[in-house]
Amino acid sequence: MKSRVVRQRVKYFKIWLSSSSLVANDMQVKAENKAAMRRNLGLSSADDQRPVVGCITRLVPQKGVHLIKHTIYRTLEMGGQFELLGSCPVPHIQREFEDIANQFQNHEHIRLILKYDESLSHANYAASDMFIIPSIFEPCGLTQVSHLLHMLIHEF
């Protein structure tokens, strides 16, 4: 069966969604997406093998914001890079994440973007190596399907 590939330009990134198994070209495009994301977000590209852990979510209690905070620090501890794209309607949680974003404002391996940006979310899916999908009681299958299309490892 021939692979169906859809190419789409989103801001500075190429996104390739493939219905076939991974091929060398897909991995090359993944590497290009990752390099572009690092440039765009100001993350270090000194070690292109350093894994990027992504998270795109609403920062609300049912998502388990404590899990997200833990993952930020644990990713750094383990030698990875972490990028969060998330918005928050809860004032005290928004302040907590603003404080964390300020703490890592000039850090070469951590970037928190506290807003919703659809084109950036697609680019982050295309560039990340792994994704966290924290949820205390609100699972959703659409996110997992999107991760599979973008060749991502996801954690719950």
Using CA atoms in the order 46, 79, 37, 54, what is the torsion angle rounded to 10 degrees? 180
Report which of residues 77 and 24 the model is more confident about. Answer: 77
Q: With a cut of 70, say whether residue 9 has pLDDT above it.
A: no
pTM of the model: 0.75
Collapsing DSSP states into helix, strand and coil, what is residue 54?
Answer: strand
Query: Each residue of 84-126: pLDDT tens digit?
Result: 999 999 999 999 999 999 999 999 999 999 999 988 988 888 8
Give residues with Cβ within 8 angstroms of 23, minimum separation 6: 3
What mean pLDDT is reported for the chain?
A: 80
Q: How confident is the model at residue 86, as a pLDDT?
A: 94
Q: How confident is the model at residue 135, as a pLDDT?
A: 78
Which amino acid is residue 84, in one-letter code? L
What is the Cα Rg of the chain in Å? 15
DSSP letters spanning 82-135: EEEEEE-S-HHHHHHHHHHHHHTTT-SSEEEE-S--HHHHHHHHHH-SEEE---
Average pLDDT over residues 144-156: 55
Report which of residues 98 and 154 the model is more confident about. Answer: 98
* Dist CA 58 CA 134 (whole Å): 10
Cβ–Cβ < 8 Å for 95, 112: no
Q: With a cut of 90, say whether residue 14 has pLDDT above it.
A: no
Cβ–Cβ < 8 Å for 101, 112: yes
* Dist CA 114 CA 47 (whole Å): 26
